[in-house]
Homo-oligomer: A and B are copies of this chain.
């Protein structure tokens, strides 16, 4: 087969649906590779040309690490944000070095020292946690850093108890916001209006509920920055088609036995959060 015949075949094949079967039917590894490459180019181009999709951007996203944060709060949004072509997703150290930051049984290496945190952020993100977040609430330089970065951030965001840190930085006054379900009512003490919803938007403030809410939060932010189609594409890459084995993910749905026990178990921590306000 000569080059022109091959090119015709590749173009013809690239319009066949389902494309996957076409690739399987190809005779040689070389043909399969070229068909796959054609499919990839076609897929990228279709995305780029789709209405409402911003394929490439240059958002500056700063995700703040602090000792004892809850890793999933941050890692899930990070994965979704990192899938936005061209975005710069920075994990900011709480200090001026790149010492790994502990987050529940292991450590993550920051990508940027605190002093290297970009200015004029598109997204400032603060994860939650338990006792780590409590200590962070009492860490005045850290709270001041949040306040400073928020002042020139397009969006100010958090997941889980991270909103307590935003509140401590004075960023929730008069705003609707959410938090982990155990600390939701504490938001009132910051002058916020607590809303029991997985993701809450108020002006440029976007807050997510506890831990796994970071996935829903992350997809909503991607949609705002890059359009619905891009967010749907990342949702499919992340295969986010949840199938919880139990219906125990919120205090309203959980068995009262489970809910009351967990509420009790967390009561001292919640009380300490309240005292730290």
* Chain A residues proximal to chain B, CB less than 8 Å: 17-20, 23, 29, 32-33, 35-37, 39-40, 42-44, 46-47, 50, 70-72, 75-76, 78-79, 82, 89, 91, 100, 104-111, 160, 180-181, 185, 198-199, 209-213, 215-216, 219-220, 223, 228-229, 231-233, 235-246, 248-251, 253-255, 257-268, 270-271, 275
Q: How far is the CA of A12 from the CA of B201 in the complex (A)?
A: 41
A242 to B244, Cβ gap below 8 A?
A: yes
Given contacts A213-B243, A236-B254, 6 further A-B contacts (CB under 8 A): A37-B268, A42-B264, A106-B111, A198-B243, A216-B245, A242-B244
Q: Tell me whether A109 and B106 are in contact in the complex, defined as CB-CB below 8 angstroms, given that A211-B237, A237-B211 are known contacts.
A: yes
Q: Which 9 A-B pairs have CB atoms at the shortest separation, nearest pair first? A: A43-B264, A210-B239, A241-B249, A232-B248, A242-B242, A39-B264, A36-B267, A39-B267, A43-B265
B100 to A111, Cβ gap below 8 A?
A: no
A78 to B82, Cβ gap below 8 A?
A: no
B236 to A19, Cβ gap below 8 A?
A: no
Q: Tell me whether A106 and B78 are in contact in the complex, defined as CB-CB below 8 angstroms, given that A215-B212, A243-B216 are known contacts.
A: yes
A108 to B111, Cβ gap below 8 A?
A: no
Within the complex, the shortest CB–CB distance from A25 to chain B, in Å, comes to: 13
B242 to A229, Cβ gap below 8 A?
A: no
B263 to A249, Cβ gap below 8 A?
A: no
A231 to B249, Cβ gap below 8 A?
A: no
Residue of B nearest to A219 (CB): B245
Q: Which B residues lie within 8 Å of A258 (CB)? A: 229, 232-233, 236
Q: Which B residues lie within 8 Å of A259 (CB)? A: 236
A236 to B249, Cβ gap below 8 A?
A: yes
Q: How far is the CA of A72 from the CA of B263 in the complex (A)?
A: 27
B242 to A249, Cβ gap below 8 A?
A: yes
Q: How far is the CA of A32 from the CA of B269 in the complex (A)?
A: 12
